[in-house]
Structure 1
Amino acid sequence: MKILAIPLLMVWGAVQAAQPLSQADTKSAMELAKNNGCFSCHSTAEKVVGPSYSSVAAKYSDDKDAVASLVQSIQYGSKGKWGRIPMPPHASLGKDDLNLLARWILTVEK
């Protein structure tokens, strides 16, 4: 049974990533970003401390594993992807919140 769990989770993640966000999901993701201090370092269109969300979306636009990559960066932080300033981890966010934030970031356009 464990052997099937990993591929099924991968398929579920790919299906979730492919689904467009509803207006409610977009609003929830923006509130989540606001409440967790994300807008202190990021904005939707311009670089602040970290890259703009539109730049992140553009960078990952052809990456089939983009949601998983962003979830990992949000949850554990990152260093060196966008310069010398590291992104702090947001380890207290749950799996669903991490997934929602990652999916939302990938929809942000300039």
Structure 2
Amino acid sequence: MLVMKNTLISCTVILIMTHIACNNGNPANKKYPDKTSATDSIINSAGNTADAAYRKGARLIAANDCFTCHRIEEKTIGPSYREIAAKYHFNEGNVENLSHSVIHGSKGLWGNKEMTAHPNLKMADAKEMVRYILSLDTTNKNTIVK
């Protein structure tokens, strides 16, 4: 019984020391930071963190399956929304073309992966979603068209 008790105490001490050593006693070194991503922010706020002019598009993105393949800041299965915004000027022609790609799917614009079609989306809703995405441009090259 004494051996089991000493073993349990030793294991507990080792776990505590390992935890302290891995974090260097600093909570900032945690594997999963407390920082909320832009994607999480849009999802958790139902789009309320988006600019008011593009909030409906952000809400539609959060309500659909878009975040399965896309994130705002980082590339996952598909390009990030910021990459898309940097590639396409914000104009009605691009809004129309990209909305068509959202509804009918596309392949080859970003490599060999195919974007799934979303035939149940209305064109007006797809345009709102694309306008939100294009509003995320951080290169200052886009002229915003409403």
Normalising by structure 2, report the TM-score. 0.55
For 2:119, the equivalent position in structure 1 comes to 91
Instruction: Answer 1 or 2: higher relative contact order, Cα 8 Å, separation at least 6.
Output: 1
For 2:14, the equivalent position in structure 1 comes to none
* Structure 1: gaps spanning 5 or more residues: 1-20
Q: Please point out which of 25, 29, 44 is paired with 2:72.
A: 44
Is 1:77 matched with 2:105?
yes
Give the aligned residue type for 2:107: K
Aligned-residue CA RMSD (Å): 2.0
Q: How does 1:26-65 map to 2 (within 5 A)?
A: 26-61=54-89, 65=93
Q: CA deviation at 1:99?
A: 1.1
Q: How many residues align?
A: 89
- 1:100, 1:56 → 2: CA distance? 15
Summarize the Cα distance change of 1:28–1:63 in structure 2 as closer, same or farther, 3 Å threshold: closer
Per-residue CA distance 1:7-57 (angstroms, 9 max, x = gap): xxxxxxxxxxxxxx961x533222211221101110111101000111111
- Structure whose CA Rg is larger: 2
Q: Contact between 2:70 and 2:80, CA under 8 Å: does it hold in 1?
A: yes
Normalising by structure 1, report the TM-score. 0.71
- 1:84, 1:98 → 2: CA distance? 23
